A and B are shown apart, each in its own frame.
Chain A
């Protein structure tokens, strides 16, 4: 058993060994084996002819060199890098109502406030959920939101998932403080599977923040396969924020999808900064009447990073709304493909759906491809989509330089301005700050000292373009800048 677990590469034997190691009920083993069959029979998605080739590159990744399962260390102590990462989390220890920490293949920490426990909220690792809430897991795990046969990578995920997070919010429970999850990879040649299953019962609400990070050196790549399934029952509201800041030796495949009952809503916030290759799929299935979804996305790619981002707003019920807004900048030799689809099913009358995606190219060698798609099967629909790819406008640059700003700084300011509309849509202050810092750091000019760019980012954080962020209506003797609540 342990021998099969210690193997590299994926096999049917390894699936069985993993399931036995976890002591799973037979239905889960059968599900894993079904998924393994599909994995073996399904070709990897290769993209279209003439695209930027990222999916082909992903298909050639050496999956056989990976360890499918990394047993947790016995003593449960966390390495300093992860402790450090946890203390710098987007949601601090005093600001969150719950915490889940996954390291490689295992959930190593779960915390939930006593108050939420007493109100029936369940936050646990997925193994525990399989044992204690088997009926729920059996019904929702990779069946509707991200079916295991979605593609080859979801099949692999279903066959080899480990770790995993289960969150259940009972009817009417509204969780104000965010729940934080951090997924860490700190081993080369590892395959880590992060699975998040959220069931928000009627009229409940929660904010959930998931961070993907890594802490290991070297060229030997690891793989992170993440699946997020969100179910919102009638009138439930979920805000799901994810920050992908993986090291450049990590390849990642992400599938996130929500299934909406009536009048429920999901706000996806997605920030992609790190990894070598990321294939990210994000969708909302607006099945219930009056349900709504929003996707706000930001990315910044450099060096040889490659991202493929696919979004889907699937309108099924009556009078559903969706809005997708993604802004990204590329530099060096990086490549990004964005494929945004609005699908309005027959009978989905009074749909309102909007999508816009904008790429800013900052080098001659980066490439972006944006394909917005629209399929409309109903006749009372308001939908629009648009995508642009462009460079920094030379006339804007000249205008700023004619006012004394050096070229580096003028470019940085234009890029900051480009991101501002999406950053304004992010409600989590810490993420907005993190993204602004990342953008300023990547745009740091040749003449600017560290102190200069730290100041530049602080100014941006303070002044931004928030309406009323800097008040001019106050007596002049007051020194500090007033920050208005949002």
Chain B
């Protein structure tokens, strides 16, 4: 059975300021959804709330994944269940090598929902999955080739001193490596030149298939020429105000967002 991410009437705020005002959305494995909308409409917030960023407070609604309400789950547990977020602004972590980090991340997602050592319902500690360096190296090398990532990058600190394009490619590299069931790409296209956009899109298309559900968050229609969505949703003022097929993206390209603006809404919410 395909895994499902189900968002029901989701409300969330940051520092008391409401940003999501009742989002409903279902993303299944095998589907590609585009989430579009003007700046400040709440697209990034939605992705962060789904991933469990503690900065945001969920004030109402539910998030279901694989039949479980994951609202109370920590971000790492959500990742271990098969959720992934390609960050709009990936954090630099000086002094921590990409190789070291990615190997641990891959082990973590392979361990499953419970971290190694934590007690399972059977009363035994969850096992630790160790990936031998050689096996990891082969896997990583394969994915790096796909994303045309330079070998040297693996010994650098995570995102430290990376260019904007390198950071975005590194995010997709992680996605390719961790093989999530549902992945969110938060404005991965912004800041990419056309060549980098093609490389990223080709990689994402290569990952497409019945095992991956995608939520592509973008402000621009451009990336959707390469990653053609099955569904397009438009977010405005913390709600999804219109859903349709891929033709909706083209319509937005032509007309802009203004015609979808709900009555009485104000633009300018921090995204």
Among listed A39-47, A284-292, A460-468, interface-contacting one: A460-468
CB <8 Å contact, B76 and A404 = yes
Among listed A257-265, A267-275, A406-414, interface-contacting one: A406-414
Residues of B close to A402: CB separation below 8 A: 51-53, 75-76, 78-79, 84-85, 87
Which residue among A419, A447, A451, A479 has the maximum number of chain B CB atoms within 10 Å of its CB?
A447
A420-B74 contact, Cβ under 8 Å, with A399-B87, A399-B91, A402-B51: no
Tell me, yes or no, whether A398 is within 8 Å of chain B by CB: yes
Contact residue among B51, B94, B141 (Cβ-Cβ distance under 8 Å from A417): B94
Q: Mark A463-483, 1 if CB is under 8 A from B, else 0.
A: 111111110110010111100
Contact residue among A395, A406, A466, A470 (Cβ-Cβ distance under 8 Å from B115): A406
CB <8 Å contact, A447 and B117 = yes
Residues of A close to B39: CB separation below 8 A: none
CB <8 Å contact, A394 and B54 = yes
Nearest-neighbour CB distance to chain A for B69, whole angstroms, equals: 19
* B residues 96-119 touching A (CB-CB < 8 Å): 96-97, 99-101, 104-105, 108-109, 111, 115-118
Q: How far is the CA of A410 from the CA of B87 in the complex (A)?
A: 17
CB <8 Å contact, A465 and B133 = no
CB <8 Å contact, A476 and B116 = no
Tell me, yes or no, whether B55 is within 8 Å of chain A by CB: yes
Tell me, yes or no, whether A84 is within 8 Å of chain B by CB: no
The interface size of chain B toward A, counting residues with CB under 8 Å, comes to 51
Residues of B close to A410: CB separation below 8 A: 76
Q: How far is the CA of A481 from the CA of B79 in the complex (A)?
A: 28
Tell me, yes or no, whether A452 is within 8 Å of chain B by CB: yes
Tell me, yes or no, whether A59 is within 8 Å of chain B by CB: no
A404-B178 contact, Cβ under 8 Å, with A417-B96, A447-B115: yes
Contact residue among B133, B140, B178 (Cβ-Cβ distance under 8 Å from A403): B178
Q: Mark B116-156, 1 if CB is under 8 A from A, else 0.
A: 11100000010010101110011011001000000100111
CB <8 Å contact, B96 and A401 = no
CB <8 Å contact, A464 and B97 = yes
Tell me, yes or no, whether A448 is within 8 Å of chain B by CB: yes
Tell me, yes or no, whether A115 is within 8 Å of chain B by CB: no
Residues of A close to B104: CB separation below 8 A: 405, 409, 413
CB <8 Å contact, A465 and B80 = no
Contact residue among B78, B130, B134 (Cβ-Cβ distance under 8 Å from A476): B134
Q: How far is the CA of A400 from the CA of B109 in the complex (A)?
A: 12
Tell me, yes or no, whether B95 is within 8 Å of chain A by CB: yes
Residues of A close to B115: CB separation below 8 A: 406, 409, 447
Residues of A close to B53: CB separation below 8 A: 398, 402
Which residue of B has the minimal Cβ distance to A424? Answer: B95
Nearest-neighbour CB distance to chain A for B245, whole angstroms, equals: 30
Q: How far is the CA of A468 from the CA of B174 in the complex (A)?
A: 21
A452-B100 contact, Cβ under 8 Å, with A404-B80, A468-B155, A476-B134: no
CB <8 Å contact, B96 and A465 = yes
Q: How far is the CA of A395 from the CA of B154 in the complex (A)?
A: 22
Residues of B close to A459: CB separation below 8 A: 100
Which residue of A has the minimal Cβ distance to B159? Answer: A399
Which residue of A has the minimal Cβ distance to B107? Answer: A404
Q: Mark B160-192, 1 if CB is under 8 A from A, else 0.
A: 000000000000001000100000000000000
Residues of B close to A401: CB separation below 8 A: 52, 74-76, 79
Tell me, yes or no, whether B241 is within 8 Å of chain A by CB: no
CB <8 Å contact, B95 and A398 = no
Residues of B close to A468: CB separation below 8 A: 155
A403-B154 contact, Cβ under 8 Å, with A398-B54, A419-B95: no
Which residue of B has the minimal Cβ distance to A408? Answer: B115
CB <8 Å contact, B97 and A463 = yes
CB <8 Å contact, A473 and B100 = no
Residues of B close to A118: CB separation below 8 A: none
Which residue of A has the minimal Cβ distance to B128? Answer: A452
A395-B91 contact, Cβ under 8 Å, with A404-B105, A473-B151: yes
Tell me, yes or no, whether A396 is within 8 Å of chain B by CB: yes
Q: How far is the CA of A481 from the CA of B125 in the complex (A)?
A: 30
Tell me, yes or no, whether A418 is within 8 Å of chain B by CB: yes
CB <8 Å contact, B95 and A420 = yes
Residues of B close to A469: CB separation below 8 A: 97, 155
A447-B80 contact, Cβ under 8 Å, with A405-B104, A470-B99: no
Tell me, yes or no, whether A416 is within 8 Å of chain B by CB: yes
Which residue among B84, B134, B157 has the maximum number of chain A CB atoms within 10 Å of its CB?
B134
Residues of B close to A419: CB separation below 8 A: 95
CB <8 Å contact, A403 and B79 = yes
Q: How far is the CA of A413 from the CA of B91 in the complex (A)?
A: 14
* B residues 216-241 touching A (CB-CB < 8 Å): none
CB <8 Å contact, B96 and A472 = no
* A residues 415-434 touching B (CB-CB < 8 Å): 416-421
CB <8 Å contact, A407 and B74 = yes
Contact residue among B75, B95, B141 (Cβ-Cβ distance under 8 Å from A465): B95
Q: How far is the CA of A467 from the CA of B85 in the complex (A)?
A: 28
Q: How far is the CA of A463 from the CA of B140 in the complex (A)?
A: 15
Tell me, yes or no, whether A449 is within 8 Å of chain B by CB: yes
Residues of B close to A479: CB separation below 8 A: 132-134
* A residues 429-454 touching B (CB-CB < 8 Å): 447-449, 451-452
Nearest-neighbour CB distance to chain A for B131, whole angstroms, equals: 11
Query: A residues near B, CB below 8 A?
Result: 393-396, 398-407, 409-410, 413-414, 416-421, 447-449, 451-452, 455, 459-460, 463-470, 472-473, 476, 478-481
In addition to A399-B91, A464-B100, 12 A-B residue pairs with Cβ atoms within 8 Å of each other are A404-B80, A405-B104, A406-B115, A413-B93, A416-B95, A417-B94, A419-B95, A421-B95, A449-B117, A460-B100, A465-B96, A472-B151
Query: B residues near A, CB below 8 A?
Result: 51-55, 74-76, 78-80, 84-85, 87, 90-91, 93-97, 99-101, 104-105, 108-109, 111, 115-118, 125, 128, 130, 132-134, 137-138, 140-141, 144, 151, 154-157, 174, 178
Instruction: List 28 interface pairs A-B (beta carbons < 8 Å), by A numbering.
Output: A395-B55, A396-B93, A398-B52, A398-B91, A400-B101, A401-B52, A402-B76, A402-B79, A402-B85, A403-B174, A403-B178, A404-B108, A405-B104, A405-B108, A417-B157, A418-B95, A420-B96, A421-B95, A447-B117, A449-B117, A463-B97, A465-B95, A465-B156, A465-B157, A472-B141, A473-B151, A476-B141, A479-B134
